[in-house]
Structure 1
Amino acid sequence: MIHTPQPFSDAAFAPVLSRFVHQPPLVHCMTNEVVQNVTANVLLALHASPAMVVDNEEAAQFATLADALLINVGTLTRDRCEAMLAAVRAAHAAQTPWVLDPVAAGALTLRTDFCHRLLAQQPAAVRGNASEILALARQGAGGRGVDTQHPSEAALEAARELALRHQTLVAISGEVDYVTDGHQTLSVQGGSALMTHVVGTGCALSAVVAAFCSLPGDRLSNVASACRVMARAGERAAAQTDAPGTFATLFIDALWQQAQEARA
């Protein structure tokens, strides 16, 4: 039975963003090669500090120093599997929150099997599109590469079951974002269709989710706030342009402006 999602309000979001910008985290991003620059710029715009350490030994060492770890399997190789697993194990031992972005899970065997292996290491959160979440929950075959084949609400029950099974949070991205711990589900409105025409917004969201997981307080609200800060940036950027190239720049500016407003 699906719990009725509760809207996440800006009144709940504002204090979380304020806490975030006043104690910005160091985020270890083991992410795909396509989105490294975008991911770093998104975190920097929010005053967080990105780092991208990928060597097996260094990744494990750095995972204990960072405030949060992101594992994004977008450009996965067998060598990267080993480095990522070493970092996740070190993060787990150090109680550093880490987030899984299961890019294209279900569509390809190596990454799908690896993501299931990682789930046993207790991620603080999983962030993916509906097709990826359905595949992780073994309820679907995945999407068309990185593109979802399903609306976000189609994965609500799968997300709830995945959250309960692995004692984690699951965030589903789409026209409406949903965040669930298996018992309670929050819906996050906003964003822009232009976000799907710019490389890296979803992957960058996963890095922001990781960053917000480092905050004290209610993690469900913290992850919903990560989704909302990105959605608001999309809204603000889209209000000024209808072209993706300009949108990409305005999107970073909109994140920066939100951070500045929260610091005031």
Structure 2
Amino acid sequence: MSERITPNRHDAEHYKPVPEQLLRPAAERETPDWRRFDVAARRFGELIAAGIAEATGQRQDIRSGTARCIAHVLGRCLGRESALADFARTGEGDYETLREEYLCLHNDEGVTASTQELIDWLGTHLIRQQHPDARSATYVEAYPPRLDNILVPTGIEVGDWYLRINVPGIYGTKDIQDLTETLGELSVKRDAALRAYLSLPDTNAMSGDIMQDFHDCYLGVFATFEEAIHELAEVDERERDVFTYAEDRQLVIEQMNPDYEALREQVADAFDLVEEEDRIYVFHK
């Protein structure tokens, strides 16, 4: 659910994560030194390959040691002062800063496909550390992992609204800034239904046609969860069926009370219900 930003939002009870558009991109660096990368890759290649083989065999994320080893090899391209090199040494680092560095390498004209795969492994590991429940951008999750397939929960500010959206891990600060401007042009701050849709964990805000995606999924708006569930679960029809069944057997039922919690679990397989500005917005899955 999105939130309107209040003047005292920096107080503890109103604290929000720093929105993406306020984060500084990584400092400008020289062209990556791929020769130094090649030297380090030959030295640590077997260790990295063993870590990836272990992860692949169990179809899981790489271990932290393998991630740090990959970061060390990649960090050789950028120097000892890089965030990647520091992460390799300490196992700690700011995700956004690390992301800007490894995406710079991922998109460099001198990068090889095998190096991009290493970056996919490292980036996905860092994302999973912060967002273990991050969804896939496609119906079938890619494995081995790819940065363009994992959706990263991302905070942005559009006007006076703080939004929590989901962006594929292949996009960096500049892309997210451009998306923020686009959402502003779409008047998302005045469109509660669109804000509700963007908050869904499997909505890809970078799909390329977010408004078409929205209209394809949007079903309607209701005053309460009970009203929405009543309609989606066709409670009136269920009640008629029960009354008819009872009458055919000479039984009298004076009152029925729907179990809305149980019905909500049933409709959750086909619909997403999102509360936004005290109303319930419903979307097809």
Q: Same fold (TM over 0.5)?
A: no
> Which entry has the higher C-alpha Rg, 1 or 2?
2
TM-score for both structures, normalised by structure 1: 0.26
